[in-house]
A and B are shown apart, each in its own frame.
Chain A
Amino acid sequence: EPEVTQTPSHQVTQMGQEVILRCVPISNHLYFYWYRQILGQKVEFLVSFYNNEISEKSEIFDDQFSVERPDGSNFTLKIRSTKLEDSAMYFCASRRAFAREQFFGPGTRLTVL
């Protein structure tokens, strides 16, 4: 069964550094999402992406964040200058057109020191 994949599984970085989190959505899916979950808290929506552009973003998704689909398979989340409070699990999700279910990848644990 096709799955969303994410790399790396764990990223440790120094405050102020740039990080890129990578996702490969399920191949026939057209809608892509990033969510994050701070330890012990709810899963929170960050951004959605469709047809090579952002369709919606949350208040969390400020100018430090960007997303890109650099080729036909990868979907990336970049954080330009990481802060301590960016430490969280970051989940990529995708869904098919005309479907409602979103399927999540295994996540990247980001630790900012």
Chain B
Amino acid sequence: QKEVEQNSGPLSVPEGAIASLNCTYSDRGSQSFFWYRQYSGKSPELIMSIYSNGDKEDGRFTAQLNKASQYVSLLIRDSQPSDSATYLCAVNSVYSSASKIIFGSGTRLSIRP
């Protein structure tokens, strides 16, 4: 069974601090990795994608990928109350010709003032 694992949280971080979210995946052949943000009752919103080992930065967000360890992370700098949401790690399925995405169960992030 191909899985994406995340700590469900909640992860509580003070405003202005760095939030660090982690994810592991089981399929070593996975090639595309995504972070989606999901507010309660809303749809997943793509915030980062990463395909190569290393770091990728976009504004306050940095995605990190280590394929050897099958590990993906998301750092959020200068955390704001509006960052409070569930963060979904998602991985493409290498066995899928249609590039379906497999989601983790999400980490709930709470930014405290």
Q: Which of A5-50 contact B (CB under 8 A)?
A: 31, 33, 35, 41-45, 48, 50
- B99-113 vs A, CB cutoff 8 Å, 1 = contact: the mask equals 111111110000000
Which A-chain residue is minimally distant from B51 (CB atoms)? A100
The answer to whether B32 touches A100, judged by C-beta atoms less than 8 angstroms apart, is yes
Closest to A50 in B: B98
Name the distance in Å between B37's Cβ and chain A's nearest Cβ.
11
Which of these, B42, B49, B105, contacts A42 with CB under 8 Å?
Answer: B105
Nearest-CB residue, chain B, relative to A95: B99
Number of chain A residues whose Cβ lies closer than 8 Å to a Cβ of chain B: 24
**Contact call A45/B32, Cβ cutoff below 8 A:** no
Number of interface residues of B (CB under 8 A): 24
On whether the beta carbons of A100 and B99 are closer than 8 Å, the reply is yes
- A31 contacts B99, C-beta separation under 8 Å: yes
Contact across chains for B42 and A43 when beta carbons are under 8 A apart: no
**Given A42-B105, A100-B49, A56-B100 contact (CB < 8 Å):** yes
Given contacts A100-B32, A104-B43, contact A43 B103 (CB under 8 A): yes
CA distance A27 to B81 in the complex (A): 34
Min CB gap A86→B, angstroms: 18
Q: In the assembly, what is the distance between CA of A56 and CA of B92, in Å?
A: 14
With contacts A43-B103, A50-B98, A105-B43 known, what are 18 further pairs, Cβ within 8 A?
A: A33-B100, A35-B101, A41-B105, A42-B105, A48-B98, A55-B98, A56-B96, A56-B97, A56-B100, A89-B43, A100-B32, A100-B51, A100-B99, A101-B34, A102-B101, A104-B36, A104-B44, A107-B42
A-B contact pairs, 23 of them (CB 8 A): A33-B100, A42-B104, A42-B106, A43-B44, A43-B90, A45-B101, A45-B102, A48-B99, A48-B100, A50-B98, A55-B97, A56-B97, A56-B100, A91-B44, A100-B49, A101-B49, A102-B46, A102-B101, A104-B45, A104-B46, A106-B42, A107-B42, A107-B43
